[in-house]
Each structure stands twice: as structure tokens, then as C-alpha cells.
Structure 1
Amino acid sequence: MSKFFSKVFSNSFWLVLLSLLIKIPIFFTKHLQEDSFITWRVAKNLLNYGVIGFNGDERISASTTHLYVLVSAFFQMIFGEQFIYPVLIFSCILFAVGSIWLGKILFPHDVLKRGFFVLLLNMSPPAVAASCLGMEYGILFFLYSGLIYFGIFRVKKWAYFLFPILLLWTRIDTSIFLGVFFLADLFIKRKINIPFILGGIAGVISVVGFNYLYFGELVNHTITAKKIAYKNLTPNNNLDYLLYQWAYYGGLIKMHSLSTFLIFIGFLGFLGFAAFKIVKERSKTPFRTKVILIAILIFALTKITLFSFMKAYFDWYYWLPRVFLFAVILYYLLNFVPLRKRLLIPSIFVFFLGLYFFQLLQSYTIGYMEETQRVQIAKDIQRENTSIHQSILLEPAGKIPFFTGLYTYDEVGLVNKRINDEMLKDESYWWMNSVRDFEPDFVLTIVTKPGGSYYQMKPQDHRYFDDHYKFVKSYPIAEIHQNAPKVLRWIYGIRPIGKDYYLYKKR
């Protein structure tokens, strides 16, 4: 059996194929991250209008990633409306290749352990999310691993220059990763790496320069919009709240509670023990590999801590840091646990299989909810034969604008700066002022109907809204939960997800 696995694992093609087969069941859950549709619409807009934007010929950096916009545009040009699954498969392949490169660093001579490392890492929940849910993180992991493998491990000068540029064009916050690994490279070589510095400088100058010359701004508009829209998002600045958020986003358990925090602390304790054993042991792990593993660990914990304490409350920011934490744990389990391979590997496999089914069930839970609500809303609006010449005011700006093609005003202002202008002019009544000024053909509210603490209105605003808009349909989340398959009803009972929506149309 070992000979069979060694023969299969020695061939990268079979390893990539096996990793891809692991991910395919996730596609059937229809779980796709909402923000991926923002990038995909920007890519569609580039093809249709020749402009990087969201609404026709209006330039705006509505997507956080320039490189993935170009990749998505290429897939839409080749596959048309059926591009989504090809681009997801491409993302999974890139993630698998990145995990193989990482495996070659950690297990350069043990083909069997390397193969199981690759498969088990691809089964972990954050790896599934990063490669299957439509965001740019499959590409990003490929580039992260490429820099570590070809640069830090194999010392290729071209890698030190090329990968920083590609990383910064994928996401500007990859500067954290570049900073950590620049220090790791300095620690290994004991001298300044000039190509690494030049690659970082070229990446920053080219991205910032492009943003300024093309969009008239130094950073992506999404950063500016979130700063304006979310400044009062979390008024609770207590230390216990911030620590709970840190554990919520750093771990896998999506509950904001003391138990989640304690479990995460326990996990970090085990991680610290594993790191100590790896560093202390002298024969199993070469010096360069130890530095890479510690750098991976430092990057992951630094990003999780910085982003959670800066209130970056979006789960996808934390996918790849969690992947790297799993990589360190896997290395320890496969190399340091004193059990024979015939006992050790099946035990680890069963544990990771449980984690995989946990993610599969979670994706089914989210995918069902979104397919029966947001996608259904898009289908209902599409019956009006919508186009870019009609408009909608809503939140969020992902699936519904993508499928309906409507000109979009979103409540955060990610895809339309005019919303942010309204927020700056009137912090309390910006939403109603936007309805008056822009006169959208459709209005979709979330959680509540217009009025109340969020959609604030003056007395005369109620009359205006009733005169100009008619209520079309509500989409209560409780009804979706009640009509879900039995297993999902049970999960929704433990952890309800989703919110109510209310659709209005201009009279």
C-alpha cells in the first residue's frame, strides 16, 4: 500500500487531481462568497465597457484585487456566462500547486508524508473556503507558496522580484506577508536581499501609481468606503469583546462566546507546544525549514491579531492565516508524533475528514440560504427585464447586481462613491437622501423596512417613500429556515444565519 501511495504522490498531476476531487462536493452546496460577485461584475464591466468599474463607464476600484479582476475577465471572455465553475476549478488547481510547493519544503525526501500533507491541508476548512468560494485566495495562496518555495527555499533571484509584484497586485495587504518573510530571509542569510526590496518597491509603486492615474486615488476605493460606512459599526470597544472577536475569526467555531475564546486559547497553546518541539529538535528539521515554519506562524498570528483588533470583520481575510496554522500543525503531527505511519496517518486522516465534513455541512447551510433568498430575489427582479439603464439601492452588492445587471447604489458605497458622499453630508439621513436624489427603480432593504434606527426617516420622508415606491415582496429568513431540509433546520436552530429582505419598486 505504501508503494502505491508513494508512486501516486510522486506525480504532481495526480496530487493536483486528488486535491481537486476533494473540493468538487463543495461546488454542489452552491456556497459562493458574496464579494466574489463584485469582482466578477467588475470583470464583466471591463469586457463590456472597457472600464475597470462596476456601473458602465464609471471608473471605480470596487474590487479589492486587480489581478483577480483580470483573471476573471479572461475566464468570462473564454467561457461566457458559464465561467464560474471553470474559474473555481482554476482556483482549486492553483491552491493545490501551492500546497505541493509547501510540501516540498517541509518533506523534501519523504514522498509519502508530503502527499498526505498536501491532501490533508486541502481538506481543512480554511483551505476549502479559500479555494472553492470564488474569492482571490486560491491565487493568493499559490503566490505566497511560490515566494516561499522559489525565493526563500530555493533562492531564485527572479522569485524575489516577481512574486512581491504579483502579490501586491492581488491584494495590497500582502505587504504584511512580505514584511515577515523579508525578515525571515534576512535571518537566514544575514544580509539584505536587494532583489526582494526592489520587487516590493516595484509592486507598491506600480499598484499605487495605477490607482492614482486610473482611479484618482492612492488605495482601492473599498478601503475608503469601509472607513466611512463602518466607523460606527462596532461601538463596543471593551477588551473582552475584542478578544472574543479575535477568537471568532482566528478559529473555526463561529460563535461569539467565552467558550470559543477558551477553545482558541487551547489551540494556540498546542500550536505553541508544536512550534517549540520543532525548533528544539535538531535532526528532523533543517534550519531554513524551521525559519520558514516560524515565519508562517508569525505571519498568520500577526494578520489575525491586527485585522481582528482593527475590526476587519470579514471572514475571508482570515482564511489563509488559518491555512498556515493548519500547515504548522500538520507538519508537527506527521513528523513528531511517536506513532507508526500505519496508525498515525489513518488517525490524522479521520480527524481531518471530520473537519472536511464540518465545512461541507456549513457550506450547504450557507449555500441553501443564499440560493433560496438572494438568488431568488435576483430572479424575481429579472422578470422585469432589467438592464444597466435601471437602478437599485441595496446591500450587499454581490449576487443581485451581478445577475440583474442593474446600475447599483450599495449601502456601504463599495461600488458607488455617491453613497459615501451622502454619508459624509448627512450621517443620519443619508439613506433617505440617496433615495430622493438618485430615485432608484428598485429598493431592497435588509433586516427592517424603511424607517427605524437604520433606515432613518423624517415624517415627510414616509409620505415621499409611500408615494413613490410600492412594496413588492418580503423574504423572511425564518420562512427559509422552516422550509429547509431537516438537517439544515436543525443547524439553523443552533445557529440562525441570514436576515430578512424587503423589496420595493418605483411607482
Structure 2
Amino acid sequence: MIAITLAVKIPVFLTKHIQEDSFITWRVAKNLLNYGVIGFNGEDRISASTTHLYTVVSAFFQLIFGEDFIYPILVFSAVLFAIGSIWLGKILFPQDTLRRGFFVVLLNLVPPAITASCVGMEYGILFFLYCGLIYYGFFKLKNWAFFLFPILLLWTRVDTVIFLGVMFLADLYLKRKLNWTFIVGGVVGLVSVVGFNYFYFGELVNHTISAKKIAYKNLTPNNNLDYFLIQWAYYGGLIKKYSFVTLFIFLGFLALLCFAMVKIIKNKDRIAYKVKVILVAVVVFALLKISVFAFLKAYFDWYYWLPRVFLFVAVIYYLLNFVRIRKRILVPSIFLIFIGLYLFQLVQSYAIGYMENTQRVQIAKDIAANGTNMEQSILLEPAGKIPFYTNLYTYDEVGLVNKKILDEMTADEHYWWMNSLRKFQPNYILSIGVKPDSGKGYYQMKEGDKAYFDEHYSLVKEYPIAEIHQNAPEIVKLVYGVRPIGKDYFLYVKRNGKP
């Protein structure tokens, strides 16, 4: 089963779609190996990555494989995701190995499973740990699982507390008594990770949470209910377009899900009581996390990958268990639908990978051609691929990887970018969307700032996204026509000599 799921993932790997923020974690891991510090810029301690456990795992892979670590760690993530799906299959189909096999393959074909396991983030590990707790804790009734998995989950991401809370209530409902091992595991995990953050970084939560709260506070165009509903559907569903059509499609999917769950809960012949509770729990978790994060304005698609996977778990279980059609019609029909979903994501991944490799990776190559190191610096956004491949000291425009930028944002909300430029004098500037001297967006300037900028920095190269779209393969152009991906970039270099 693992081999089959890996075969499905190989075409996705070939698209070169790797999530930008994966490179932030990988840079932190590289920093840990080179400087012995969990940070982003040499000896500066900062929790720039959202995940401690995956940082350590990434450091291990870089230590073993060197610069060629990326595909081994992507395969490792895909294998862990496959194992997690197999554990779920054993819970849902303990006796029926054929349906279990169909379940595993179908689950690994859906778009959120592809992105969670193939594009470099920590979600392959996270799904493995989620399913490990469910399988060994709830299904196998192993006490050690209730202690170990909460600790590992919280060290992977602190927001797994939502999953742990829902599963604790499910366990309480099943056993009608408190699971003290579960409680101790959760407390030890939470106290240890928060304590580590406080004593090592001097903060209670990951720095990225604080940075996004400050940098994105004015990002929402409005606070109307219709906007939040559309955002909820945008991140809860598969259609990446802010529109009422997206909302109606998501509501239709939820209606199907609700129908399936009612059928599952009412069945008294074939479905074990514990299986029903587990399915209800993972669906509640999925909808709760999607709703909470959408309401809190979490504008990052990867937060929602695994909740979407769990929604598909319930739908696939229903299709394999309840749809009364002859197998010779049912099985091919279901596979055709899910292969369609797979191809839908494959084309999207191809479009994203093409854009990133012809633009951001190319920018990194252009900068690295000059010879770069930590003694030189860059001011840019985002802080993933380009800092990873150039090894430049990095100031990012959100403040995720450098606290000095947040200090400037706090001191002057309007002119922090120009103040940072004057104070830190980076060797390179990479502006996004517009040129800095336009005075738009982040790049607001006071009187005299434009002259200062023109005197000290010169434009080296432009990277127009329209040119990339125009030169893309035809199938990718179709994606860009529906969902434009990417922005213009403008690379500047300091005038006073070679950087």
C-alpha cells in the first residue's frame, strides 16, 4: 500500500511544487547545523519555523543527505502520510482488506492529501501522529499512546491542542471517565513546549504567531459576515477563488457530508460504535479548526489541509460502505471521480511549481551568482526559497524571521519599511508587486526618502509575472486564466560597490 501511494505521488514531486514556508523550516534546520542555534540568521535565536519537531527532523535529513536532502524528506513525509492512512483504514475496515485498500488509495488521491504529504511542510508527520493517537490510543487502547502522541503533536504544532481537545472529549464520551494518562500527556506536551519557547526564545508562543498578528492586522478588506463566510468556504473547500460560487459549492459538499454522517450514525448493523465516535470526532475537529482559523483571519492554506483530509475520510467511508450500486459500476465510477480530483491538484501543483521555479528560484540563482554569504543581507518577502538558496542575512517584510523588522513596525506603522532600509542598509532589496519608489503598499516614503533610495540603490532586474504566464505551457496557462498565481518582483542592489 505504501508503494502504491508513493507511485501516485511521484508525478506531484516532478511538478517541483514545494511550499515556500517549507524552506523557512529547512533554513532554520540548516542554521541549527551550522551555528548550533535554532534561528534563521546565524546566532540570532528566533522561532521562525512553526514546528520544532519537523525542524529537528529536517536537520537530521540535511546532516545525512547534505544539499540533496529535499526529495528524501518529501518521500519520508509521503510514507508517513501513507502509514497514517493505513492505520485509519484498519480502524474503519478491520476485517475487509479490499475496502481498506480502496480507502487508502482514494484518500491519498484527494487534493489536500497530496499537498499535505508532498510539498514539504510538516503535515505528513502531523497526519501520522494524528492517526497514531487514534489507532493506538482509541482502537488498540494503549496507554502509552495517550501519553506519547500528545507530546509529539504539541512539539510539531501548538495548534494541535484543538485536535487533542476534541479527541479528549471523544475519549471521555466513550469511557465515561477521565483519561488521566491523556491529561498528563497533554499537560506535559503543552508545558514543555511553552517552557522551551520561554527559556530558549524568551516568548511563550512561536514568534511567527506574534509577527503575523502585527503584520497582517490591516489585511482584511472588511469585517462583513459575507466576507468571512466566503473566506470560510475558500479555505474549507477546494476552489481557490473568493466568490459566492465557492461558498455554494462548499455548502453543497457539507450537505453531502451531513447526509453521509447521518447514515453512518444511524446504522446499527455493520458499523462499530467506536468507529462512529471516531468519525464524528474527526469531522467535528475538521469543521471546528476550519471555522476558528477562518474567523481568526488565518490566511494560509496549509492550516486547512488536514481538516479537509478528515472531511474526505468520512465521505470516502460512506461511499465504500453505503452506496448501493453494482461493484462493476461503483468501483470504476468512484475511482474516476477521485482520479479527477487527483488530476485537478496535479495541474495546480504544476502551475505553482512552474511559477516558483521560473521566478523565485531564478531570482535566487541570479543573486547567488554574485557570491553570497551571511555577511551580506537582503530585505524581501517572502523569506523561503531565496534566503535558503542564497544564505543571505534576511530581513523579511512580515517580520517572521527577524524581530528587528517587527520593532520597526511597532515604532512606525506607516514608514517602517523605509526606516528599516535606512537603519539596516541591506545589500539587496527584492520588492514584491510594485517598485519601492512607487510609494505604494509597504513602500511608503516621506519627503526625501525617494531621493535617498535612488541614490543608494539601483534596479538590477525585473521579474514580471505576466511574462512567466505568457511563456507557460498551455495547460498551465489555463490555470493562470482562472486563478492568477504570482506577483511581479523587482531586484535592487546597493550602489556603493559590489555587495
- Under TM normalisation by the shorter chain, which class is it? over 0.9
TM-score, normalised with respect to structure 1: 0.97
Structure 1 residue 426 and structure 2 residue 412: aligned?
yes
Structure 1 residue 107 and structure 2 residue 93: aligned?
yes
Deviations along 1:434-472, one digit per CA (max 9) or x if unpaired, are: 000000000000001113231100121001101110111
- The one-letter code of the counterpart of 1:504 is Y
TM superposition shift of 1:493? 1.9
TM superposition shift of 1:154? 1.3
- Equivalent runs, 1:253-292 vs 2, <5 Å: 253-292=239-278
2:489 maps to what in 1? 501
TM superposition shift of 1:487? 1.7
Q: Is the 8 A contact 2:459 2:491 kept in 1?
A: yes
Q: Which runs of 5+ in 2 are unaligned?
A: none
1:23 maps to what in 2? 9
TM superposition shift of 1:341? 2.7
Deviations along 1:115-156, one digit per CA (max 9) or x if unpaired, are: 010011001100000000000000000000000000011110
Distance 2:269 2:27 in 1: 52
Instruction: Select the residue among 263, 278, 290 that pairs with 1:304.
Output: 290
Deviations along 1:260-303, one digit per CA (max 9) or x if unpaired, are: 10010011001000000000010111100000000010000000
- Equivalent runs, 1:66-465 vs 2, <5 Å: 66-450=52-436, 451-454=438-441, 455-465=443-453
Give the 3-state SS of the residue equivalent to 1:473 in structure 2: strand
Distance 1:227 1:313 in 2: 11
Distance 1:153 1:231 in 2: 43
- The one-letter code of the counterpart of 2:476 is L
Distance 2:270 2:161 in 1: 31
- The one-letter code of the counterpart of 2:140 is R
Distance 1:45 1:271 in 2: 44
Structure 1 residue 483 and structure 2 residue 447: aligned?
no
Distance 1:490 1:137 in 2: 29
TM superposition shift of 1:235? 3.6
Give the 3-state SS of the residue equivalent to 1:356 in structure 2: helix
- The one-letter code of the counterpart of 1:490 is L
Q: Is the 8 A contact 2:470 2:477 kept in 1?
A: yes
Give the 3-state SS of the residue equivalent to 1:444 in structure 2: strand
TM superposition shift of 1:342? 2.8
- The one-letter code of the counterpart of 1:221 is H
- The one-letter code of the counterpart of 1:88 is L
Distance 2:185 2:466 in 1: 51
Distance 1:332 1:320 in 2: 19
- The one-letter code of the counterpart of 2:489 is Y
Give the 3-state SS of the residue equivalent to 1:459 in structure 2: coil
TM superposition shift of 1:492? 1.3
Structure 1 residue ranges (4+ consecutive) displaced by more than 4 angstroms after TM superposition: none
Distance 1:145 1:314 in 2: 23
1:466 maps to what in 2? 454
Distance 1:242 1:328 in 2: 25
TM superposition shift of 1:497? 1.0
Give the 3-state SS of the residue equivalent to 2:431 in structure 1: strand
- The one-letter code of the counterpart of 1:442 is Y
Distance 1:183 1:345 in 2: 36
Distance 2:238 2:138 in 1: 30
Number of residue equivalences: 493
Q: Which runs of 5+ in 1 are unaligned?
A: 1-14
Give the 3-state SS of the residue equivalent to 2:459 in structure 1: strand
Distance 2:264 2:326 in 1: 19
Deviations along 1:424-443, one digit per CA (max 9) or x if unpaired, are: 00000000000000000000
TM superposition shift of 1:488? 1.5
Q: Is the 8 A contact 2:347 2:475 kept in 1?
A: no
Distance 1:140 1:390 in 2: 36
Distance 1:480 1:115 in 2: 41
Q: Is the 8 A contact 2:434 2:440 kept in 1?
A: no
Deviations along 1:357-397, one digit per CA (max 9) or x if unpaired, are: 00000000000000000000000001110101100000000
Distance 2:456 2:120 in 1: 37
Give the 3-state SS of the residue equivalent to 1:54 in structure 2: strand
1:3 maps to what in 2? none
Instruction: Select the residue among 44, 47, 51 that pairs with 1:58.
Output: 44
Q: Identical aligned pairs, as a percentage?
A: 71
Distance 1:64 1:493 in 2: 33
- The one-letter code of the counterpart of 1:413 is G
